Structure 1
């Protein structure tokens, strides 16, 4: 059984300025989980529906901590998004993962602590597996698109999600790199990836390398001006990658072979007669498939 593909891109400025996007419209999406970061740009590219959500809002109004992650994922699900591509700026812990390179992330270590991380809770308890937090099928497609765009791609990497908004201390940077074995560091993919899994959305993470964090002896501490300079170049590459996804994914979508779109199948533990009606109403988009 196939469904209609709709690609959702969560990223920054430049990624939604897509040449050839037909019927492009900014639209507000109401969510019971709050107001999303911004309106969502929807349209069609090469016959495939697409949605673009500025993670920090246009003009960068949200810090990594205040991004309304639950509202964002819920809003994309309500629009009919099936596949979420997260594109974000990151620091690198690996010499070979240089500024300007892209990494297709496949693992996370979540060090955030001031964010709501689940749609579920008292009144409806659920536990989903995030052992493999990204979708291999979608990640492979992103890697293929990046290579076709001529980007220096790295297939696989562990993303350290920090709370921010400050960058790492030198001691932290060395620990994440040497003791913990992380490859990149950022502030925004958690709890985004966990929430996408709860919403039964395939999720892929593209880390756009802007700097070497603070561990590198020849690069010193993170310089925001250098980050912004690299970020501008990365935005062009990211846009090129994104424009190649519709042709690779196609308009018709089979069920995810890795089960991302069935993550809630056996996850909900609360007995039906003990579920909170108010919470159940908020879960209509995220979990409606299994709660109906």
Structure 2
């Protein structure tokens, strides 16, 4: 029987969310490990791939000459799958931590004990609990068993999307109407510029097909050994040349990180509000 979906937690207040966004979120790092434990990935702010850790000599020994049923080299493909897995796990780990930072924590036994002393005298005598332990047990039971962090994050994110969707539904989506102002009204320069930016942003979004948009970062545009792919559905995909062990060697981790940054920059450029497109923006 599948575990019950936990209830979404209450988000922090607006000012506290602003503080968390500015001070806490940029420092949160997600960590992921491949199933075999041979590759470890660290992901930072805005899904930036910060670091890959592995025993290069051991990986090279195990995978460089590995061949498939048709005698083709398959070690690079296997390594790419290990890296992909570790990075995606790291991205999910960070998302759970970020979501946690934006929500009120579940009550702890100590906090409930503190609440007992505050609440006891405010209750009618016939409703007062017999003891602090009884009070704490009742309230912990009301919150149910401690949920799995991933399940809790999914519930919180679903609730956040619902709130966000309600706000977005009320926004104007016609660029012409966004740019329009009351007849005879001259808008301050800053307001006019903000309206223009918003209109152009909406136009850019309407031109994108999230299902097809694909952005690549390569170590060499003409003869790549490493290609990292970013899409709106997945933040990281990896292709490695079959001879990557000899072509790139021990600097492969740095090459993957650089290519990941390139793919991410192109994805960001695709929805940039400012009109100037990046020179390397090639959807």
Query: TM-score normalised to the size of structure 2?
Result: 0.24
Q: When you count strand as a share of all residues, which structure comes out higher?
A: 1
Q: When you count helix as a share of all residues, which structure comes out higher?
A: 2
Which protein is bigger by CA-based radius of gyration? 2
Query: TM-score normalised to the size of structure 1?
Result: 0.23
Q: Which is bigger in relative contact order (C-alpha 8 A, separation at least 6)?
A: 1
